Amino acid sequence: MPTVSHGTAPYTPAVTRSFSIAARPLLGESVTDDGSDGVLQDPNATFCLQMSKLNLFQCLAAAKPSYEDMFCIGRHVVRDLADCTRTAVSPASN
């Protein structure tokens, strides 16, 4: 019989929330984004995405030639979104 280790959680909070969101429809429950359900709230990911949005707007405001818009989108939408997601789902390094 396999033993269960109680030392550390196997999943990060973001992954646990994702599992919870995926399981709720199977259990007949609904998931709403009205702020009353804590399962959709992740303060760290929210802050990361808000900073990415702020950086995008600042970059677009400073962009002069049209090709710099694409740089801003690539850097602050694509890369920052990937960074925020990776940080949220990766276990904390010790």
How many separate helices (H) and strands (E) can be counted in the chain?
Answer: 4, 0
Degrees, nearest 5: CA angle 73-78-81? 125
Q: Is the Cβ–Cβ distance between 72 and 59 less than 8 Å? A: yes
Instruction: State both tokens at 21.
Output: 């969101």
Residue 76: count other Cβ atoms within 10 Å of its Cβ: 20
The domain limits of the chain are: 41-94
pLDDT at 45: 78
For the entire predicted model, the pTM comes to 0.61
Each of the 94 residues of the chain gets a pLDDT tens digit; together they read: 455 555 566 777 777 777 777 888 888 877 666 655 555 667 777 888 899 999 999 999 999 888 899 999 999 999 998 888 888 777 665 4
Q: Over the Cα atoms of the chain, what is R_g?
A: 18
pLDDT at 12: 76
Q: Return the DSSP state at 91.
A: P
CA dihedral 34, 40, 46, 49 (to 10 degrees): -100
